[in-house]
Amino acid sequence: MGPEEQHLIFVEAKALLLAVPMMVVLTGYGAFLLGFVVAVQSLTIRGPWGRPQTILLLCLVTILVCFTWTVLDNGGGLLMIHRLMFMQTLEQGIIAQLQAADKEIVIWGYFFDWPVTILASITYIIHGSSFYTLYHLFTASLE
């Protein structure tokens, strides 16, 4: 085994180590789904349906969509590369497996983190800050 293959194995092992926090995130996502179901169930049991319940339901659905998108964005590519790397063996060796896996997961690089922006916007709207303040906070964090 040459130094290039040793380096590739090290990089892949490091990426595999990053899969452990992803499992924790997916466990948290499961707990979130349980809380979401409980919250929606408590909304449906209550008496008359009014504007506050509608706003709460819209916020819950928005958080569900954004959290789902973020989990898919952060974990989809990571889990896919490991599946392709270790499940699909090629005769050319580990370098060919890595190159084939990179070609397959290129789509995961095009996900955007817009749900984080939506959730931050909702937070700032609830707390009474303006969009102008939100814009300056995001541009300041990019510098």
Does the pLDDT of residue 29 top 80, yes or no? yes
Asked if 38 and 82 sit in the same domain, the reply is yes
| Cβ 124 vs Cβ 34: under 8 Å | no
Domain span including residue 17: 3-111
Q: What is the mean pLDDT of the chain?
A: 75
- Write the DSSP assignment of 27-48 as a string of letters: HHHHHHHHHHHHHHHHHHHSSS
The DSSP call for residue 94 is H
What are the tens digits of pLDDT across the range 78-123? 777 767 766 666 677 777 777 777 777 776 766 666 666 777 777 7
Q: How far is CA 25 from CA 19, 32, 50, in A?
A: 10, 10, 34
Does the pLDDT of residue 51 top 90, yes or no? no
Q: How far apart are CA 136 and CA 130, in angstroms?
A: 10
Asked if 39 and 58 sit in the same domain, the reply is yes
Asked if 130 and 69 sit in the same domain, the reply is no
Give the model's pLDDT for residue 101. 73
Asked if 72 and 135 sit in the same domain, the reply is no
- How many C-beta atoms surround the C-beta of residue 88 within 10 A? 11
More confident residue, 8 or 64: 64
Asked if 14 and 24 sit in the same domain, the reply is yes
Please give the tally of structural domains in the chain.
2
